[in-house]
């Protein structure tokens, strides 16, 4: 009998890739989303069943589960409340694969992402300490979600995937837009703090989907990192994006942090590297990456250009526009600093 998977958040960047990977592995997939774009439906021959699903609506999740599924792939779970929701319906779920974030990690001094002086070990293994579960911030709420699901045991065997900097088509938070827009605007320079050596390890949606596929086929209670095989520097990322767009720009490498906010700051900018160890996924799931960052980049860049064409980019990519509280395209500030 064909096994059934419910993908929560199926119209998002992770969900779309997960649906494709699971269908390719022979699963019968229910694609749960608040709305699938009419211009981009699932191919008929995939046999995907689309179901309306608001992640916060218990009744809609119950309807999507129906008499039960073999696995729930939850790309949208954000907090303890979402974990409790899954656990209440565990009698209709064989196992779960839930996307979390590497932002839950603390360094050896107990400091987290964005804190002054944070320095993670290289690479970060899954046993590294994490933030205290709680409310009020993205890392603490994800940690609360993790705690509830990781202690569920046989009630709901759950694989938690701590993702790096996610990239790929169909995103609301495309870090690559930082360099794509500069190419489209004809900016002649790439100004990079920390001499462009910042590394925040990415993970392609196709690699994340491969981890989801493998975990769905091997139910268990585990926490695994999710990352691409390499952790390129922001300097390498900028050069690669501009190469895809055939754009020439002079590199201006700044020693240390931004000289004048926000000059030299990018969505990847960190003073110390954030690199994830993938040995556990390789050992427990037999994971092998499907793509490298550079190989997956042309598709992402092409989608970004098409998605933003003729539109206000802040409407197309709202998470990137609002989450950082930074004007990444303050060209007057850059020009003023360059002309100092």
SS3 71: strand
- Record the pTM: 0.96
Question: What 3-state DSSP class applies to 321?
Answer: helix
Q: What is the DSSP string of 181-237?
A: HHHHTT--EEEEGGGG---B-EEEHHHHHHHHHHHHHS---EEEEE--S----HHHH
92-130 pLDDT tens trace: 999 999 999 999 999 999 999 989 999 999 999 999 999
The closest of 200, 203, 198 to 228, measured between CA atoms, is 203
Backbone angles phi, psi at 212, to 5 degrees: -60, -45
Burial of 306 (0-12, 13-18, 19+ CB in 10 A): exposed
pLDDT at 38: 44
Structural contact between residues 104 and 162, judged by C-beta atoms closer than 8 angstroms: yes
Q: Which domains does the chain have, with CATH numbers?
A: 4-338 (3.40.50.720)
Query: What pLDDT does 40 receive?
Result: 58
Sorted by sequence, the CB contacts under 8 Å of residue 325 that are 6+ apart come out as none
Mean pLDDT confidence for 218-232: 97
Distance CA 318, CA 310 (A): 16
Give the pLDDT score at 283: 98
Whether 250 has a pLDDT exceeding 70, the answer reads yes
Q: What is the DSSP letter of 86?
A: H
- Residue 114 has a pLDDT of 87
Measure the CA–CA gap between 151 and 9, rounded to whole angstroms. Answer: 24
Chain-centroid distance, C-alpha 303: 16
Give pLDDT tens digits for 32-90: 998 755 445 789 999 999 999 998 999 999 999 999 999 999 999 999 999 999 999 99
Which pLDDT belongs to residue 325? 87
């Amino acid at each position: 009998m064909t096994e059934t998977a419910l993908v929560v958040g199926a119209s998002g960047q992770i969900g779309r890739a997960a649906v494709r990977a699971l269908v390719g592995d022979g699963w019968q997939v229910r694609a749960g989303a608040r709305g699938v774009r009419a211009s981009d439906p699932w191919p008929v021959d995939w046999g995907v069943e689309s179901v309306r699903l608001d992640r916060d609506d218990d009744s809609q999740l119950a309807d999507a589960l129906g008499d039960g599924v073999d696995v729930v792939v939850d790309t949208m779970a954000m907090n303890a409340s979402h974990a409790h929701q899954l656990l209440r319906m565990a009698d209709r779920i064989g196992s779960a694969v839930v996307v979390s974030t590497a932002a839950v990690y603390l360094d050896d001094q107990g400091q987290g992402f964005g804190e002054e002086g944070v320095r993670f070990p290289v690479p970060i293994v899954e046993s590294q300490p994490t933030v205290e579960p709680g409310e009020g911030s993205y890392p603490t709420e994800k940690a609360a979600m993790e705690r509830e699901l990781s202690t569920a045991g046989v009630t709901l065997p759950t694989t938690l995937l701590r993702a790096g900097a996610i990239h790929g088509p169909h995103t609301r938070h495309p870090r690559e837009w930082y360099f794509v827009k500069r190419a489209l605007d004809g900016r002649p320079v790439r100004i990079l703090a920390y001499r462009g050596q910042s590394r925040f390890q990415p993970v392609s949606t196709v690699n994340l989907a491969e981890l989801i596929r493998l975990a769905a086929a091997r139910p268990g209670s585990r926490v695994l990192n999710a990352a691409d095989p390499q952790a390129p520097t922001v300097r390498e990322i900028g050069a690669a994006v501009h190469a895809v767009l055939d754009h020439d720009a002079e590199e201006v490498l700044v020693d240390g942090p931004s000289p004048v906010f926000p000059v030299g700051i990018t969505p990847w900018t960190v003073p110390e590297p954030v690199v994830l160890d993938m040995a556990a996924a390789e050992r427990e799931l037999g994971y092998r990456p499907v793509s490298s960052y550079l190989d997956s980049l042309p598709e992402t860049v092409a989608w970004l250009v098409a998605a933003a064409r003729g539109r206000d980019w802040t409407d197309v990519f709202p998470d990137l526009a609002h989450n950082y509280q930074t004007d990444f395209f303050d060209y007057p500030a850059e020009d003023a600093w360059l002309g100092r």
